[in-house]
Amino acid sequence: MRDASQGLHLFLGADTNGANKHSDVASAALAVADFKKDIRLRCLLSFYYYAKVDLDNMFSGGVPVPIIMADSGAFSAATLGVPVNLSDYADWIKRWKHRLAIYANLDVIGDPRATLDNQHRLEDKGLAPLPVFHVNEPWEYLEHYLERYDYVALGGLVPHAMRVSALMPWLVKAFKMLPPGKGYHGFGVTGWTILKSFPWTSVDSTSWSIGYRYGRVPLFSPVEGKLVSAYLGDPGTCYRYRHLFEYCGFDWKDFADRSRNSRAKIAGVSAVSYLRIEEWLRRKHAKAMKVYLATIPGDFENLKEGTNGQHSLRYIGGNGQCDPTI
């Protein structure tokens, strides 16, 4: 049984929430000094994308290892019409279990009975996957999971991301059903309203990567309590949010001038912005909430270069093996 009160803790420095906006630059300097001391980076790897990737090799040679959550990638696979084989997924988990802090069930979107069967089949193979319940599935399945598990993933949120008002009542009911001491992981929670409105135990998101994919850098403002965007090569927006770049330990000029920019720098500032979101949400909900950066192969190299250049990232031990109680 997984305990949602356990987890991978992020120890962060000073927060400027509530500070006068004109003092942001000075506050940011102090915040970055503390923040550099102890950053914990978390990433989501999907079997669908990483099935043929040698994770030991990817994290070898002294490369710092982030805290890893794994899922099957069933949503991506279903979108592309490619099935995920349960035995292959189970073998992959066993092969890389020393790298994984947590891993989710192979869910079957639109078939809650098959999802539950897969949960039992993986457990019969000696694994302990995070159970998954989807939007619009019968509530008795969630009741079943909450009776037996302390940590449950809510899936199927992505297709409803643009209809927040329609999704909110479903989430309100799900959280009302949540017993004390138990928690939810939110798959693909990219919208700020849904992210901030509920006391998630953890979420994952691809939104951190929009900066180097589309040229729009997400920056978190703790004063305003929201995400804002600076545009690559646009001195106006980069200067306007210079204090937020500094808050993350980066020079705004590196983003205003494309000749000084790189994918690694964009990945670095975006990742740290999401760690700042995690810090703010922890304070808002008074609980140890965790944010996993959903990745595809190649993202980690940019994250490594973009964060190592400006921040001291602290990882588990010296061998990259994860201890989910830390």
d(CA 157, CA 203): 11
Q: What is the pLDDT of residue 308?
A: 64
Work out the burial of residue 222: count CB atoms within 10 Å of its CB; fewer than 13 is exposed, 13-18 middle, 19 or more buried: buried
Phi, psi of 216 (to 5 degrees): -120, 110
Predicted confidence (pLDDT) at residue 71 exceeds the cutoff of 50: yes
pLDDT confidence bin for 20, thresholds 50/70/90: very low
Predicted confidence (pLDDT) at residue 61 exceeds the cutoff of 90: no
Predicted confidence (pLDDT) at residue 78 exceeds the cutoff of 90: no
pLDDT in tens, 120-176: 999 999 999 999 999 999 999 999 999 999 999 999 988 777 788 889 999 999 999
Predicted confidence (pLDDT) at residue 5 exceeds the cutoff of 90: no
User: 290-294 and 183-186 as β-strands: parallel, antiparallel, unpaired?
Assistant: unpaired
Residue 308's CB is within 10 A of a number of other CB atoms, namely 14
Q: Enumerate the β-bridge partners of residue 217.
A: 230
Predicted confidence (pLDDT) at residue 31 exceeds the cutoff of 70: no
d(CA 181, CA 4): 7
Q: List domains and CATH numbers for the chain.
A: 21-308 (3.20.20.105)
AA letter at 38: D
* HSE-CB for 136 with a 13 A CA cutoff: 10
Q: What is the pLDDT of residue 307?
A: 73
Average pLDDT in the chain: 82
